[in-house]
Amino acid sequence: MGLKQHIGLLGHPVSHSQSPALFAPLFDTDLLDWEYQLIDVATEEGLLKKLSSPLYTGFNVTIPYKQAVLKHVSNRSPRVTRIGATNTLYRLENGDWMAENTDYDGFLATFNKGRLEWKFSPKQALILGTGGSSKAVQAVLEDLHIPYQSVSRTPSAQQLSYSDLLTHNRESCLVVNCTPLGMKPDTQSSPLSDLRFLKGPSALIDLVYNPSQTRLMQQFQSSGHWATNGSLMLRVQAEAAWNLFRTHTWNPE
């Protein structure tokens, strides 16, 4: 058995995460001894401390650090440069961190699976939230040539507020929830109080995966719309990240 490799999830909070269960069957223990940790870092100072540790081969990155961590990472893939957010860090040979974005792969897989089940082609999309995950969603929608608008509690000139959203009808609309609202333990929360602005068939991709059935999903399904959670996105992005981790194992000598 080789040198023990440590990877983990950086974020706050992380206790709800299913990442350890996802990675456990991916570890090839015949070659290397791997350990996955949930690393709850409440401050950017704590984040920097973990990045400075030679113990770790790689990190998954989640809320609220998908954009903030890039200030501390000098190497970025072309995809990360375009998106402006990362969810995966792995070591280069010289020990520096490389930032990649596998959320793109996860959301694209979820979209393609949903497209096989929808009874319509989305003419437009609404992205709820403006954090790091939303940046990957935007990139996928741009590549699919689906126009979108972002919805924020504190909108800029290019974004909608939630109150503005409810005053305009939307037809054949894909809604993507990139906020943590509805995530365990706050399972009764929802970013939308009313779906009457959706006219005709619409669909929801809720990036929340715990619980598997969110309050927002229930709202969509009870209104006759299609809805899915973020479990497929989670699995696909984890598998893509694992391919990077195992290719770039870290030996701090």
Q: Is 248 exposed, middle or buried (0-12, 13-18, 19+ CB in 10 A)?
A: middle
CB 86 within 8 A of CB 80: yes
Q: Which of 49, 66, 123, 199 is catalytic?
A: 66
- The number of residues making up the chain comes to 253
Give the sign of the dihedral formed by CA 55, CA 59, CA 63, CA 69.
positive
Rounded to 10°, the helix 103-115/132-143 angle is 50
Beta-strand runs (E) in the chain:
5-11, 34-40, 56-61, 75-76, 88-91, 97-100, 124-128, 148-151, 170-171, 173-177, 198-199, 203-206, 226-228
CA distance linking residue 149 with residue 79, whole number of Å: 21
CA distance linking residue 17 with residue 37, whole number of Å: 11
CA distance linking residue 74 with residue 56, whole number of Å: 17
Look up 4 and say whether it is catalytic: no
CA distance linking residue 77 with residue 91, whole number of Å: 13
Vertex 37 angle, CA 130 and 35, to 5°: 135
Neighbours of 213 (CB within 10 A): 14
Residues belonging to the active site: 66
